[in-house]
A and B are shown apart, each in its own frame.
Chain A
Amino acid sequence: MNREEILSRSDALHERVQRFALANDGDSFDAIACDIARFQADAIPGYRRLADARGSLLDDASALPAVPTDAFRLTRVAVHDSADDVTRFVSSGTTAEARSVHALRRTDTLERLALSWGRKALVPHWPARRVVIALAPHPGAPATSSLGFMMRSFIASLDGRALAADPAGAAFDPDSSARWLASPQGLDAEGVRRAALVALERQEPLLVLATSFALVALLDGLGGERLRAPKNSVVMQTGGFKGRTRTVSPGALSSAIARAFGIDEARIVGEYGMTELSSQAYEGTLADAELSGPPSVYLPPPWLRIHSVDPVRLIRLPPGEVGLARFVDLANVDSAVCIVTKDLVREVDGGVELIGRSPGAPLRGCSLTLEQLLPGKAAGGAA
């Protein structure tokens, strides 16, 4: 395919996905997924090889060949040439290994869809306005972090006013350092206090967009202090502690965050996304929001399917069985519509529970067998 044909087919698919996702135009998820897969196989030799190796005709959305997320580390995963990139999202890996890169030719589909589902999960029916801050570093311009890009969109769309008690007449700046309260130098706890006071004075909820690690840093910074924040505030929490020196159990972290903000734990809403995806899933725990579901169950939007699959054959497992997370994300028009990760999930109640990561260290060598030496330890793990 030449460049013009690629861009033309891509644009048509973007429009189709947006109509399906935002206007519910009666199109079929399966049909769109297969059309995107065929487009990607026509444009990306690697995906054609994968389809051929799997013997797939790309005519069954439930059996599309899944691209392992490691491919985003090792090669370019895109239908288009790098000259047409408008941004490249880079994963936040903390090891010496190469990071995943997700190249995007247009970001409007991702942004509109992220906002649409984010609203349903994070925004209560009332009141209409809120104060939004991010416990994350500024994503740069253009954004190199998919999470930062999404946070910036939320700041602009769900708040959109100056961070002041009386924003009337003041200029709105989504890139203000008062909004982005984490940096390599640490977390700005004083900035969180200021934003919480602004929300109190406006009588609006505070929406805090944060990684788990940043929340731990905030708790450390507060040193047990309880913030003065509106009772109807919401915390969006995402990510784990990969490569970090300090980890906190999810239950303990939720309790501590709720205590610090003076909110119910149900107002801490988990988000599940990744660099290689364009769509996100959320917990539906916020009682006065549109999305509803039990804690720890991440609910995907209608344009994203998450299935638990057998790690060897990559076929879907029965509900309740733990397997690798396989995603079909219609918003990944220009990269990989179907990916598989090493995240372990279990399908429940219309969503998935995130169980952990598939084991398998990069270096195994002589590490297959564990032996124990001293009395008292022998019963634990025979080789």
Chain B
Amino acid sequence: MTEASVPRIARVRRLLDAARVLADPRTALGARARAELPAVSGLSAENVARALSEVLEVDATDGDLQRLLATVEDSPRTHVLLAANVFTAPLRAIALALAQSPRVDVRPSRREPLFTELLHEASHGAFRIVSELAPAPGDHVWAYGSDETLESVRGELPAGVVFHGHGSGFGVAVLELDDADAAQVTQLSAALARDVVVFDQRGCLSPRLVLVVGAEARARQFATELAAALARHHHDIPPGPLSSEEAALVSWYRDTFTYAAEAFPAGKGVVGFSPGGELTLPPVGRNVHVARLPDPVAPLEPWARAVTSVGLFGSEQLRVRLAGVVAGARLCAVGQQQRPPLDGPVDLRERTRREVL
């Protein structure tokens, strides 16, 4: 059977099988991934191991895969340009491409090509790794990176290429704590901390801003318990090193909120707390800004186009209102923001839709 005659879903499943090899620490490639990815990903060995075991989307259901297939159209050839911010991201990116075409060229991140190379090896060459992409009119290009990079890439593609750009973003959690008891607050803080820790907030799903509705004491309890949970993870899943620029931004954020409101130490990170509702986006690493607001929906509007994911604890009414504002963001339970089902692109925002150049 030629590659072109392999059913679309079989191509995706073959890639998932390869991912399972990497997720399994007992396999040679799984062991190699755990040994070598910390150096190139900037994450600690513990964080890499956890991402491979718990976050890599190897448990997709048939329903998930059918939905994934439905999100893409056939293409003679598909090209994938990868970024290095989340090392597991190539799985979904390449799965989408294989769902679309039997001929997939992948240009990995130069800084972090390893996971793509391991996936290539484990899948016995289900796609090609290339150093430069050369799309022709009619081909599809999926590009991941900063908005500036995407704009640059888009501008240099030939006419007739179908472009899918996935750019900057971040995750938000929205919590209605009016009726939550102390135990629920503790559970929520622990769940959110897990999503903050994985990938050290370098991905576009990572929660960095929490909007709380409820009494100030409840909101403060959440912020302090989140800081404590992050501090605990500092020991069991240590953070990777920050660049000097990132460390400077953390220092700036910490001092700003120590003065302007409150800042709770959280390992090497910080949880800023604004009982008055001031909003800001903390730097990456393991930093979360918690703001208490009477209504979280309207203040979120100016940020909406950058929000890719919302972890929600609240009423159905709130969910509906949020969905109207952050259209395209994935809404899920708190603690599930880093584990979206493998049912299509991770980023569903309007501005990521396909575009024929």
Q: Which B residues are CB-close (under 8 A) to A363?
A: 168, 170, 281, 306
The answer to whether the Cβ of B98 comes within 8 Å of any Cβ in the partner chain is no
Given known A74-B278, A368-B84, A368-B85, contact A382–B111 (CB-CB < 8 A) = yes
8 Å CB contacts to A: which residues of B139-153?
Answer: 141, 143-149, 152-153
Q: Which B residues are CB-close (under 8 A) to A368?
A: 83-85, 146, 202, 284
Most chain A beta carbons < 10 A, residue from B82, B107, B258: B258
Q: How many angstroms from the CA of A365 to the CA of B304 in the assembled complex?
A: 13
Given known A68-B255, A71-B259, A375-B132, contact A366–B81 (CB-CB < 8 A) = no
User: A73 → chain B, closest Cβ, in Å?
Assistant: 8
The answer to whether the Cβ of B260 comes within 8 Å of any Cβ in the partner chain is yes
Contact B143 A50 (CB under 8 A): no
Contact A366 B153 (CB under 8 A): no
8 Å CB contacts to A: which residues of B238-275?
Answer: 244-245, 247-252, 254-263, 274
Task: Please tell me which one of the listed residues B143, B202, B302 contacts residue A373 in the complex, with CB atoms under 8 A apart.
Answer: B143
The answer to whether the Cβ of B224 comes within 8 Å of any Cβ in the partner chain is no
Contact B168 A365 (CB under 8 A): yes
Q: How many angstroms from the CA of A67 to the CA of B244 in the assembled complex?
A: 20
Q: Mark contacts of B81-110 with chain A using CB atoms, 8 A cut-off: 1 yes-contact digit, 0 otherwise.
A: 111111000000000000000000001011
Contact A377 B168 (CB under 8 A): no
Closest residue of B by beta carbon distance from A336? B259
Task: Please tell me which one of the listed residues B146, B204, B248, B308 contacts residue A358 in the complex, with CB atoms under 8 A apart.
Answer: B248
8 Å CB contacts to B: which residues of A326-367?
Answer: 340, 342, 358-360, 362-367
User: A339 → chain B, closest Cβ, in Å?
Assistant: 10
Contact A70 B256 (CB under 8 A): yes
8 Å CB contacts to A: which residues of B174-220?
Answer: 202-204
The answer to whether the Cβ of A311 comes within 8 Å of any Cβ in the partner chain is yes
Task: Please tell me which one of the listed residues A71, A358, A364 contacts residue B256 in the complex, with CB atoms under 8 A apart.
Answer: A71
Given known A358-B248, A360-B249, contact A366–B256 (CB-CB < 8 A) = no
The answer to whether the Cβ of A8 comes within 8 Å of any Cβ in the partner chain is no
Contact B281 A373 (CB under 8 A): no
Q: Which B residues are CB-close (under 8 A) to A365?
A: 167-170, 203-204, 306, 308
The answer to whether the Cβ of A252 comes within 8 Å of any Cβ in the partner chain is no
Closest residue of A by beta carbon distance from B79? A373
Contact A367 B146 (CB under 8 A): yes
Contact A366 B168 (CB under 8 A): yes
Given known A366-B146, A370-B145, contact A67–B169 (CB-CB < 8 A) = no
Q: Which A residues are CB-close (under 8 A) to B251?
A: 311-314
8 Å CB contacts to B: which residues of A236-254?
Answer: none
The answer to whether the Cβ of B166 comes within 8 Å of any Cβ in the partner chain is yes
The answer to whether the Cβ of B27 comes within 8 Å of any Cβ in the partner chain is no
Q: Which B residues are CB-close (under 8 A) to A70?
A: 252, 256, 260, 280
Q: Which A residues are CB-close (under 8 A) to B257?
A: 74
Q: Which A residues are CB-close (under 8 A) to B144?
A: 366, 371
Closest residue of B by beta carbon distance from A377? B156
Could you pull out 25 A-B pairs where Cβ atoms are within 8 angstroms?
A49-B262, A67-B255, A74-B260, A74-B274, A311-B252, A314-B251, A342-B252, A360-B249, A364-B168, A365-B167, A365-B204, A365-B308, A366-B146, A366-B166, A366-B202, A369-B84, A371-B110, A371-B143, A371-B153, A372-B152, A372-B153, A373-B153, A374-B133, A375-B132, A382-B110
4 cross-chain pairs, A with B, having the tightest CB-CB distances, nearest first = A311-B248, A367-B146, A382-B110, A366-B204
A-to-B contact residues, CB < 8 Å:
46-47, 49-50, 53, 65-68, 70-71, 74-75, 77, 96, 311-314, 324, 340, 342, 358-360, 362-375, 377-378, 382-383
Contacts A360-B248, A364-B283, A366-B83 aside, 5 further interface pairs with beta carbons under 8 A come to A312-B248, A367-B145, A369-B109, A372-B153, A373-B107
